[in-house]
Structure formats: C-alpha cells, structure tokens
C-alpha cells in the first residue's frame, strides 16, 4: 500500500480537514464571483473615466 493512501484517508476521517476544504472551496467561489463582477463592471467604469477625461480636456482647452 502506498504511504499516500493512509494520508488521504486521514482527510476523510478528520473533520477539521473537511472544514478546511469547505472553507477553501468557499473562498475560491467568492474569488470567482469577484473576478466576474470586476470583469463585468470594468468596461462600464472605463467608459465613465473616459467621459470624465474628455470633459476635463474640453474644459481646459
């Protein structure tokens, strides 16, 4: 038997390891949602800043 098998079985039996895995999955899900939100809003924010920059350039000239 590989020495890895008892090590992996300890994760199944150990509830602290299960909690750690659940927290890691939760953090990963939150990170994916944040990346999606920033990607979605990024174009809109860029358009707003471009409009502000154009307005400032027009006001200064």
Give residue 28's pLDDT: 95
Tokens of 54: 């154009």
The token pair at 16 is 């602290």
pLDDT of residue 43: 86
Is pLDDT of 1 > 60?
no
Residue 50 vs residues 42, 56, 58: alpha-carbon distances, Å: 12, 10, 12
Q: Say how many domains are in the chain.
A: 1
Predicted local confidence at residue 12, as pLDDT: 65
Q: Quote the domain boundaries for residue 50.
A: 4-60
**pLDDT tens, 3-61?**
777 777 776 666 666 788 889 999 999 999 999 998 889 888 899 999 999 999 999 87
């Amino acid at each position: 038997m590989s020495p890895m098998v008892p090590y992996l079985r300890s994760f199944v039996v150990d509830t602290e390891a299960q909690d750690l895995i659940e927290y890691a999955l939760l953090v990963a899900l939150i990170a994916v949602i944040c990346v999606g939100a920033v990607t979605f809003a990024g174009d809109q924010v860029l358009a707003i800043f471009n409009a502000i920059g154009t307005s400032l350039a027009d006001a200064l000239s």
